[in-house]
């Protein structure tokens, strides 16, 4: 398999930063984190980095989480993910990113053709779980294909925001999933355009909300096709 970063065993007080790097065709056969596997309880930053053609069981480009499930903080900004792929089983999450942290931010980034080629993932291009604060803005998520959520899935989070997102040319049972979010999470300024909603999940829809109610504002949905 191609070279990847394995970040584990360092002091949990340390902050690990990956800045202005390029990962191409990195693969983790029968493992998680095609380009980067972060497995410690500290702070992790990925900034201005490009991922192309990376693949793994979970987290096609990045798999990041703490040793007990939730690390302190994950900040990822100004990154691009192209043709990255994860496995197809229900425990294989995030064809681009799968991250689970106490405080989590993913901003100013793009995903394109994740998964690669004609593959169909189990879930979203970006799959984020937060115990406390979760924020995501200015994301261009395009050309995703999945059995369930094809674009971005947000799980938990007591506060935060999701805004200024463009989800275009997706195919899945739903395009965005909001799973058990806290009431103070702002969800606004979304564009969902030219998507194909399939029936694999048995309860298809453009936006899927589970467990708790949410308020959405300033959302544009255009060009939706529902499979028979």
8 A C-beta contact, residue 204 and residue 174: yes
What per-residue confidence (pLDDT) applies to 68? Answer: 72
What per-residue confidence (pLDDT) applies to 45? Answer: 95
The pTM score is 0.93
CA distances from 33 to 11, 17, 85, 193, 210 (A): 20, 16, 10, 30, 27
CA 125 to chain centre: 5
Sorting pLDDT into bands at 50, 70 and 90, what band is 1? very low
Q: pLDDT tens digit string along 46-98?
A: 999 999 999 999 999 999 988 776 688 999 999 999 999 998 877 789 999 99
Across 102-111, 117-126, 219-228, which has the greatest mean pLDDT? 102-111
Least confident of 92-101, 120-129, 203-212: 203-212
Helix, strand, coil share (%) of the chain residues, nearest 5: 0, 60, 40
Residue whose token pair is 């995501």: 136
Q: What is the mean pLDDT of the chain?
A: 89
| Helix H or strand E segment including 133 | strand 126-142
Residue whose token pair is 């990255």: 84
Sorting pLDDT into bands at 50, 70 and 90, what band is 143? very high
Report DSSP letters for 53-116, one per residue.
S-B-SS-SSEEEE-TTS-EEEEEEES-EEES-B--SSTT---SSEEEEEEEEEEEEEEEESSS-
Burial bucket for residue 9 (CB in 10 Å: 0-12, 13-18, 19+): exposed
Mean pLDDT of 18-39: 92
DSSP 14: -
8 A C-beta contact, residue 165 and residue 137: yes
Distance in angstroms (rounded) separating the CA atoms of residues 13 and 220: 42
In the chain, % of residues over pLDDT 70: 94
Distance in angstroms (rounded) separating the CA atoms of residues 168 and 166: 6
Burial bucket for residue 202 (CB in 10 Å: 0-12, 13-18, 19+): exposed
């Amino acid at each position: 398999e191609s070279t990847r970063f394995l970040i584990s065993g360092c002091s949990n007080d340390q902050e690990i930063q990956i800045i202005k790097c390029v990962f191409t065709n990195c693969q983790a056969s029968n493992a998680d984190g095609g380009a980067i596997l972060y497995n410690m309880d500290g702070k992790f930053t990925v900034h201005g980095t490009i991922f192309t053609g990376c693949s793994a069981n979970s987290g096609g480009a990045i798999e990041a989480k703490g040793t007990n499930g939730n690390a302190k903080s994950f900040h990822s900004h100004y990154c691009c993910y192209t043709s990255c792929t994860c496995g197809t089983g229900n425990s294989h999450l995030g064809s681009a990113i799968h991250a689970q942290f106490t405080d989590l931010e993913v901003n100013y980034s793009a995903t394109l053709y994740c998964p690669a080629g004609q593959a169909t993932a189990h879930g979203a291009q970006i799959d984020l779980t937060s115990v406390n604060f979760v924020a995501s803005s200015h994301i261009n998520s395009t050309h995703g294909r999945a059995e369930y959520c094809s674009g971005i899935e947000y799980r938990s989070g007591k506060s935060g925001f999701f805004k200024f997102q463009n989800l275009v040319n997706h195919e899945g049972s739903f395009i965005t999933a909001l799973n058990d979010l806290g009431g103070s999470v702002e969800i606004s300024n979304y564009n969902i355009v030219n998507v194909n909603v399939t029936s694999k999940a048995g309860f298809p829809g453009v936006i899927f909300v589970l467990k708790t109610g949410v308020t959405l504002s300033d959302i544009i949905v255009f060009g939706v096709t529902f499979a028979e």
